[in-house]
Amino acid sequence: MDRNGEDEPQQERATAGRVDQKAKLNYIQWEDKFRIEKPYEFISQAPEGCPRKNFTLAPSSEQTIHDIRGSEELFNLDDHAFQVARQELGVIPTDQEGIEREYLPKIVGLLKSIDPGAEVVVFDWRLRTSDDKRRTTAKSGSVIDLDDPMLILKPVHAVHIDQSPLAATKRVKHHMGARANELLQRRFRIINVWRPLRHPVANYALAVCDGSTVQPQNLVAVDHVRKNYEGEGLYPLYDQGMKWYYLNRQTKDEVLFFKTYDSAEGVKARCCPHTSFKQSSGEQPVQEAGDCSNATPRESIEVRALVFSKVGDER
């Protein structure tokens, strides 16, 4: 049973080939100054004399990140705030024109398949890699211009939720203009669609938290200040009751959906904390012929979308 008295997913039904991981995840550290000074981080250039951020992160004690390989069907967006879907693709483009012309329409179609009749609006997409030498164009400590979609970013090593409820509503108003008030009457979600560009994923993988184990009082709102936009994310404080998962050896034909916001109050899980973590290479299973080695760096593409359910499905 989980902390809410509900049955946990019965992964014991499919344990063959599962590789659970142990990792210390980075959480925001509570400071009393937050009672009068809101946490913030400048993603763009900070004003002269102003620290780039006013909070710190620190690793937790070692946590188990459960492998869902073989039991993917037990997890869904409503109950856990994440789920896995299969979408077979050939070569995934990595240039801006190819991504916007070929890849994004396929993601929109996939999101519509899990919410028939929904209106889907992609508002952001990103390429990431853990390989500094090959592809990373955003250097550590540099000012990041998130208005440049071809700026290839590093994985994020902080437990976070991209959008607070306040920021989610602001996103709708920002992107949907005159239609925002009408669309805000529907159930709407912000869903991230994450997939590797090469497989299997080794090195750094993505860990997602079962949203039903997140306690709202443990979420710290943090301002994210960009060059042309100010948003707000949520950073969970460490809580040993949170349950973490990942998909071992995820291929580019497997996509991981996770919610950063859901306006429906009747669902069990409304958001999904997530973070990148370094896999223990010594625990990785033997690679199949033709697969990449355990040293293969993570290269991934993520898409963020507003998903407005059809009228009458407000929950």
pLDDT tens for each residue of 69-81: 999 999 999 999 9
Residues 249 and 200 sit within 8 Å (Cβ to Cβ): yes
Rounded-to-5 percentages of helix, strand, coil across the chain:
20, 30, 50
CA atoms within 13 A on the CB side of 128: 21
**Phi-psi map region of 32: left, alpha, beta (phi>0 left; psi -120 to 50 alpha):** alpha
Cβ partners under 8 Å of residue 26, min gap 6: 57, 58, 59, 60, 157, 158, 159, 275
Residues 115 and 309 sit within 8 Å (Cβ to Cβ): yes
Helices (H), the chain: 77-80, 96-98, 104-114, 165-176, 180-183
DSSP secondary structure of 32-61: GGGGTS--EEESSPPPTTS-SBS--EEE-S
Structure tokens at 180: 């925002």
Give the Cα separation of 70 and 78 in Å (integer): 20
Mean predicted lDDT score pLDDT of the chain: 86
Closest C-alpha to 256, from 193, 166, 312, 308 = 193
Would you say how long the chain is, in residues? 315
User: Measured at the alpha carbon of residue 8, what is the angle toward residues 196 and 275, in degrees to the nearest 5?
Assistant: 35
Residues 289 and 194 sit within 8 Å (Cβ to Cβ): no
Residues of the chain with pLDDT under 50: 1, 4, 11-14, 282-294
pLDDT tens for each residue of 36-90: 999 999 987 888 889 999 999 999 999 999 999 999 999 999 999 999 999 998 8
- In 3-state terms, what secondary structure has residue 5? coil
pLDDT at 310: 92
pTM of the model: 0.87
Is 5 exposed, middle or buried, given 0-12, 13-18 or 19+ CB atoms closer than 10 A? Answer: exposed
Residues 245 and 230 sit within 8 Å (Cβ to Cβ): no
pLDDT at 140: 52
Residue whose entry in the numeric block shows the structure tokens 């997939």: 195
Residues 271 and 234 sit within 8 Å (Cβ to Cβ): yes
Closest C-alpha to 234, from 167, 163, 304 = 163
pLDDT at 155: 84
